[in-house]
Amino acid sequence: METQAATSPETVPSKTEKHPSGDSRFRILEVFAKRHGCRQDALIEILHKAQELFGFLDEGLLLFIARTLKLPPSRVFGVATFYHHFTLTPQGEHTCVVCMGTACYVKGADRLLATVEKASGIKAGETTSDAKLSLLTARCIGACGIAPAVVYDGEVTPRQTPQAVTERIKAWLNHGSH
């Protein structure tokens, strides 16, 4: 990620793909940062955008953000690890988020979680070894009126039962993407 020598014509970066990896998403992120005036207080906004583009925040990406906003890397890392929404490891193809809010909890969310853990063989916060599924928990997604709720690939699903979650998870794990 060193700035490339402008004197050598072969290494002059093209206008659309500034990042040496050739990944145009860095360019999109840079434009997004510029729209925020590269202001340092927009760090969380930019981390959101980066995670949306890349799925997770790896070291190279965090360093890129630090340089774009001219922030010390320690600051970017400190912020990225403070907020649980940000993930520094790759996520699986599918995500299953079991809501563990109070309403869901008193209606048996712990049993749902145990069911998914058993069906998938992973614990909350982990991803299966074939990268098919990431299992997460949420503190409360605010869907208490339809508790217990589970979010499958971003889709909130009401009144879940152990049977229903097992079916959903098994379908993902056995049949791959759909």
Partner 1 sequence: MAAKTLTIDGRLISAAEDQTVLQAAKDAGIQIPTLCHLEGLSDIGACRLCVVEVAGSNKLLPACVTRIAEGMQVRTDTERLRHYRRMVLELLFAERNHVCAVCVANGHCELQALALALGMDHVRFEYRFPKYSVDITHHSFGIDHNRCILCTRCVRVCWYIEGAGTKNVAGRGAECRIITDLNQSWGTSETCTSCGKCVQACPTGALFKRGSAVAEMERDRTRLEFIVNAREKKQWIV
Partner 2 sequence: MDHIDLLETKNRELRTRKPLCLRVCMAAGCMSSNGQAVKDSLEKEIRAAGLADQVEVRRVGCLRLCCEGPLVASDPKGELYQKVTPDDAHAVVAALKNGNGELKRGDLQHPFFSRQMSIVLENSGVVDPERIESYIAADGYQALHHALMEMEPKDVVDTVFRSGLRGRGGAGYPTGLKWSTVAKTSGDRKFVVCNADEGDPGAFMDRSVLESDPQRVLEGMAIAAYAVGATQGYIYVRAEYPLAIARLNTAIRQAKQLGLLGGGIFESGFTFNVEIRIGAGAFVCGEETALLASVEGRRGTPRPRPPFPAESGLWGMPTLINNVETFANVPPILRRGAEWFAGIGTQQSKGTKVFALAGKIQRTGLIEVPMGMPLRTIVEEIGGGAPEGNQIKAVQTGGPSGGCIPANELDTPVDYESLVRLGSIMGSGGMIVMDQSTDMVDVARFFMGFCMDESCGKCIPCRAGTVQMHALLEKILKGQATLRDLQRLEELCDMVKNTSLCGLGQTAPNPVLSTLRFFREEYLHRLRSLPISPGIPILPNGSHHGPPVAEAAKT
Task: Name the site residues for partner 1 (rule: CB under 8 A).
Answer: 59, 62-63, 66, 71-78, 81-82, 84
Q: 129: burial class by Cβ within 10 Å (0-12, 13-18, 19+)? A: exposed
Instruction: Dig out the tokens for 40 from the structure.
Output: 């340092």
Contact between 133 and 120 (Cβ < 8 Å)? yes
Rank residues 128 and 137 by Cβ distance to partner 2 and give the closer one: 137
In whole angstroms, the minimum distance from the beta carbon of 75 to partner 1 comes to 6
Contact of residue 119 among partner 1, partner 2, none (CB under 5-8 Å per partner type): none
**Rg of the chain taking only CA atoms, in angstroms:** 20
- For residue 95, what are the β-bridge partners? 134
Instruction: Dig out the tokens for 52 from the structure.
Output: 């949306």
Rank residues 43 and 169 by Cβ distance to partner 2 and give the closer one: 43
Number of residues that make up the chain:
178
Q: Is 53 in the site for partner 2 (CB under 8 A)?
A: no
Among 33, 47, 57, 165, binds partner 2 (CB under 8 A): 47
Helical (H) or strand (E) element with 99: strand 94-99
Three-class SS state of 138:
strand
Q: Is 78 in the site for partner 2 (CB under 8 A)?
A: yes
Least Cα distance to 133 among 86, 105, 104, 175 occurs for 175
Among 94, 107, 132, 168, binds partner 2 (CB under 8 A): 107
Contact of residue 102 among partner 1, partner 2, none (CB under 5-8 Å per partner type): partner 2
In whole angstroms, the minimum distance from the beta carbon of 68 to partner 1 comes to 14
Segment interacting with partner 2 (CB under 8 A) among 15-23, 58-66, 116-124, 142-150 = 142-150
Separation of alpha carbons 150 and 175, rounded Å: 20
Three-class SS state of 174:
helix
Rank residues 42 and 53 by Cβ distance to partner 2 and give the closer one: 42
**Where on the chain is the footprint of partner 2 (CB under 8 A)?**
39-45, 47-48, 75, 78-79, 82-86, 100-103, 105-107, 138-147, 149, 155-158
